[in-house]
Structure 1
Amino acid sequence: MDTKTKQDWMSIRRSSTTGALATAYAERLTGFTVASRVGKFITLQDGGTFTEFVSCSYLGLETHPKLISAARQAMETFGLHLSSSRSAMRPIYLPQLEELLGQIYEGSGVAVFTSTSSVHLGVLPLLGSGSLTGYPVTKQIHWMMDKTAHASMQVLRGILEQFGSVSRVEASNPDSLTSALKVCTDKGETPVLLIDGIGSMSGLVPIAELSRQVASARGYLYVDDAHGISITGRHGAGYAFSAVDHLLPVNVILAGSLSKAFGGAGGFVVVSNPKDIDVIRTLANPLIFGHSIMLPMLAANVAAAKIHLSEEIDLLQQRLWKNVSLIDSLTVNQLLNAGIQSPVRGAFFETEEAGVQAARILHDHKLLLFPVFYPIIAQGKAMLRFAISADHSDTDIKLLGAALQAINSEGLWTPSL
């Protein structure tokens, strides 16, 4: 009898990937090597100065004088690194950062990791094993992975299956989610829905409503809000936390990033019961066996957190949304994500060839962006991703609008209203 071997996900990806990304690399339309930077103007190693719409630093805090000064002082005091797991030795900036984040996420518990991916790797096994007292698990776990959840969660499927079954759902489809939750209830399982708050390529997720839906099935909601942190909410708490009125529901866990709009580096987790932080610090693999964030960046994180707790964060948010509104106006709300509170905009193309040609036109206009293909989006399609920042000037945004009009006039992009 013939047996069919199930193909692994990487082999599927490899066999389905075309040469579009390789073409973009070869023509220097992506994979840019940056020699220097002044604000949003970057000079590439192979020549030319461009305005970039690539960086996910949506507030421009990574060049803030207070962050740079803090990083420099840390290097002069400690050197570059204190190479040790936090359970053995930790720099003074780590407890300072967690205390400041505790003020931003008042009433919740916060622990800092080296990345958002490390948060997933450390916290999800604790949740699945019933180790977090604030999130009791008395029945078999069933992980419901949203189809648009970040790859850093999707890739953990093999690990998650050690604690329960994994299925993919479409959280944006109420009927799909209701059906999946009913299956869990009928089987006597504890559902855990894994989602992004703001997708790096898609729109917003209704956090409060999903929390209520999952709670009705006695389940939990795990939100990766990496792209939502800092850009909105009181003290820059982010999209997901503000969506639940700055009070984390008892069935929600929030994973955030310090490496995007926050201005520094690393990740963190927010849990509803502060007592669970001791469990996370004691048992989460990345915290036991991994090192702390590099010292200069950890000190910069502290400086960034202090800015978040000041009025300056409100001004930066206002500048960001002013720029986002301007690009939406110039493109008559024809970009992906238009009209929603996300700093990410995109132009979608029916073919990879059209996307590559559009990237060439933008390059000729001295604009850099992120061209994406499968597996980030559907096979055979292309998208040009634009990250809008508070650091962009009106002139920068208008240049982008004009370049998009040029792409439209070439017949490469026919946006739908």
Structure 2
Amino acid sequence: MTSEGRPAAKHANWVAARIDKTTDSLDRAFDEGLTGHVITGREGKTVELADGGRAVEFVSCSYLGLEQHPALVEAAQDALLRFGAHFSSSRNRMRPLYLGQLEELLGEIYGGRHVVPFTSVSNVHLGVLPLLGNGTLPGYPIAEAGPMFLVEKTAHASMQVLRGVMEQLGPVRRFDLADPDSLTGRIAEAAAEGRTPIALVDGVGSMGGLIDVAALADALRPAGGLLYVDDAHGVSIDGRQGAGYAYEAFPGGLPDNVMLVGSLSKAFGGAGGFVVLPSADDVRVLRKFANPLVFGHSIMLPLLAADVAAARLHLSGEVAGLQERLWSNADHFDKLTDGLLVNAGQRSPIRGAHFSTEAAAFDAARRLRTAGVLVLPAFFPTVAKGTGLIRFALSATHEESHLETAVEALGPIEGQPE
């Protein structure tokens, strides 16, 4: 056992290193009731808690509030009555009628491309990345020597954790967009070995930052490289039909060296994940070989029906109106915090108050909790070791009074880290 009571690792590896470097901050946040809140009901952004109290939450990643829209609720209720809570079968064997409807509607949102839904974004990565790296997808050719996966330092953990899977197909390297030479060097390394560089990045960062995906696609192209974008937090928040941040970064549509992955569980309002593909041939490959599709069930039927209703709201233009309210709230929050938060002024629904010590972040989280405001306190490895971050997930459904209460309780702001 380690000094903090954790089992000691038998062999050195990245899992052991992460465990060894992580403090007990998350455990203390749970113990103090600063996270892990048990909710018993909700009305808009106000939640009822198990202890009988009420609080305004800035935790949910439903940036548009669509999951409470009457159209989604009615669709889910109707599906529940027609089919029950679930139909337990591989989607290759039994396809709920909503699945084809969702695929068609998502195809409209994404410019006529082919879109394949999964039960989660993590399952998209698990199903797609091995096929992409193996050169099995006809729309994304890979050099005979194989791929070199280039994982950006801040890419979501659901991609980082698949390093062992990716290493069976080719070497894995990390790069840091904060270092201008980092990606260039990795691309050169891949080219020297005759490998196809595949860069894995987020679009909208879950804790902060916006990735310039268009510039990355251009940088990879001379080496025949591919860009794999997880835009889970960017879907629905931008574009006339809610295609999202990363898709809208390419005015002419997705380039042939970009693969886009998105979430249906955040601003979209429903549940699941999806990948956007260039051809029906690519879809057929996934249908045969992507493990989560071959051996896993479809999205739970009531939520699949809600996804269809949400997609229709995207195409109807209603989502565009909700986007305006979201960005109005973001602008107001930035003014209240003097532009000092992480992501201030950026086209992201996430704001972060950075603290140079974990203790300062804990104090801020306590003040907010006392004021009836729930937030996400983050510590290493989510942020730099020894520091803390209070994340605010903004929504179109937050009221001005919610924003003002949160800022007043937050207290002094240190400003963004260098």
Give your verdict on TM over 0.5.
yes
Match of 2:402 among 396, 399, 404: 396
Quote the residue 1:40 is aligned against: 45
Give the partner amino acid of 2:287: R
Give the partner amino acid of 1:415: G
Contact 2:133–2:170 (CA under 8 A) maintained in structure 1:
yes
Contact 1:61–1:263 (CA under 8 A) maintained in structure 2:
yes
Distance 1:261 1:334 in 2: 25
1:143-292 paired onto structure 2 within 5 Å: 143-245=149-251, 247-292=253-298
Contact 1:105–1:246 (CA under 8 A) maintained in structure 2:
no
Residue 300 of structure 1 and its aligned partner are, at CA, apart by 0.2
Distance 1:246 1:27 in 2: 50
Quote the residue 2:325 is aligned against: 319
Contact 2:118–2:298 (CA under 8 A) maintained in structure 1:
yes
Distance 2:133 2:354 in 1: 37
Residue 118 of structure 1 and its aligned partner are, at CA, apart by 0.4
Quote the residue 2:5 is aligned against: none
Contact 2:340–2:414 (CA under 8 A) maintained in structure 1:
no
Contact 1:252–1:272 (CA under 8 A) maintained in structure 2:
no
Equivalent position SS for 1:309: helix
Distance 1:115 1:257 in 2: 7
Cα deviation code 1:366-417 (max 9, x no counterpart): 111000111111111110000000000111111122223xx21xxxx42259
Q: 1:414 aligned to 2:414?
A: yes
Distance 2:11 2:190 in 1: 26
Distance 1:185 1:86 in 2: 39
Distance verdict in 2 for CA 1:325–1:304, change over 3 Å: same
Contact 2:58–2:392 (CA under 8 A) maintained in structure 1:
yes
Residue 137 of structure 1 and its aligned partner are, at CA, apart by 1.2
Contact 1:29–1:359 (CA under 8 A) maintained in structure 2:
yes
Distance 1:138 1:381 in 2: 42
Match of 1:380 among 386, 395, 402: 386
Match of 1:135 among 124, 136, 140: 140
Quote the residue 2:23 is aligned against: 18
Distance 2:378 2:149 in 1: 28
Percent identity, aligned pairs only, is 53
Distance verdict in 2 for CA 1:69–1:246, change over 3 Å: farther
Quote the residue 2:361 is aligned against: 355
Equivalent position SS for 1:256: strand
Give the partner amino acid of 1:398: E
Quote the residue 1:100 is aligned against: 105
Give the partner amino acid of 1:18: T
Equivalent position SS for 1:153: helix
Q: 1:306 aligned to 2:312?
A: yes
Distance 2:25 2:351 in 1: 21
Cα deviation code 1:87-112 (max 9, x no counterpart): 11111000000000000001321101
Distance 2:65 2:210 in 1: 22
Give the partner amino acid of 1:209: A
Q: Which moved more, 1:19-28 or 1:309-318?
A: 19-28
Quote the residue 1:55 is aligned against: 60
Equivalent position SS for 2:63: coil
Aligned length: 408
Distance verdict in 2 for CA 1:7–1:332, change over 3 Å: same
Residue 5 of structure 1 and its aligned partner are, at CA, apart by 7.7
Quote the residue 1:73 is aligned against: 78
Distance 2:256 2:384 in 1: 35
Residue 234 of structure 1 and its aligned partner are, at CA, apart by 2.7
Contact 1:108–1:248 (CA under 8 A) maintained in structure 2:
no
Equivalent position SS for 1:228: coil
Contact 1:53–1:386 (CA under 8 A) maintained in structure 2:
yes
Contact 1:110–1:274 (CA under 8 A) maintained in structure 2:
no
Contact 1:109–1:275 (CA under 8 A) maintained in structure 2:
no
**What is the root-mean-square deviation of aligned Cα atoms in Å?**
1.4
Give the partner amino acid of 2:253: L
Distance verdict in 2 for CA 1:339–1:290, change over 3 Å: same
Distance 1:193 1:83 in 2: 35
Q: Which moved more, 1:9-18 or 1:288-297?
A: 9-18
Cα deviation code 1:325-371 (max 9, x no counterpart): 00001111000010100000000111111111110001111111000
Distance verdict in 2 for CA 1:353–1:249, change over 3 Å: same
Residue 7 of structure 1 and its aligned partner are, at CA, apart by 1.1
Cα deviation code 1:288-314 (max 9, x no counterpart): 000001000000000000000012111
Distance 2:14 2:37 in 1: 28
Equivalent position SS for 1:82: coil
Match of 2:124 among 119, 130, 152: 119
Distance 1:129 1:115 in 2: 22
Moved over 4 A (4+): none
- In structure 2, runs of 5+ residues without a counterpart are 1-8
Q: TM-score, normalised by structure 1?
A: 0.95
Q: 1:9 aligned to 2:10?
A: no
Cα deviation code 1:111-153 (max 9, x no counterpart): 0100000000001111111111111112321000000000000
Equivalent position SS for 1:35: strand
Give the partner amino acid of 1:69: E
Contact 1:352–1:373 (CA under 8 A) maintained in structure 2:
yes
Distance verdict in 2 for CA 1:238–1:277, change over 3 Å: same
Cα deviation code 1:37-96 (max 9, x no counterpart): 010001110231101000000000010000000000001111111111111111100000
Q: Which moved more, 1:52-61 or 1:348-357?
A: 348-357
Contact 1:263–1:304 (CA under 8 A) maintained in structure 2:
yes
Cα deviation code 1:201-249 (max 9, x no counterpart): 1211111111111111101000000000000013100000000116111
- In structure 1, runs of 5+ residues without a counterpart are none
Residue 9 of structure 1 and its aligned partner are, at CA, apart by 2.3
Equivalent position SS for 1:164: coil
Distance 2:261 2:198 in 1: 14
